[in-house]
Amino acid sequence: MKRYKLRKNFKGLKKGTQFYLIAESEFIGVKDFVLRTIDMSIRISINEEELRKYFILLN
């Protein structure tokens, strides 16, 4: 499972928060990603641009 870390604050989440990539989908060229925090308490759905701008791949 891929792990990501926040580069900077995003939608009320603090910098450094770690996430697991749960799902990845593509529809007509638009990629969508679903991430959950390590403790599985928060779920967010983001697009590819937000993933590149706000997140760092850890592994």
Angle subtended at Cα 36 by Cα 4 and Cα 54, rounded to the nearest 5 degrees: 40
Instruction: Tell me the pTM.
Output: 0.85
Residue 9 structure tokens: 């604050």
Length reported for the chain? 59
Backbone angles phi, psi at 17, to 5 degrees: -65, 135
- State the pairing for strand pair 30-37/43-47: antiparallel
pLDDT reported for residue 24: 94
Q: How confident is the model at residue 29 (pLDDT cuts 50, 70, 90)?
A: confident
User: Once rounded to an integer, what is the mean pLDDT over residues 27-39?
Assistant: 94
Q: Provide Rg for the chain, Cα atoms.
A: 11
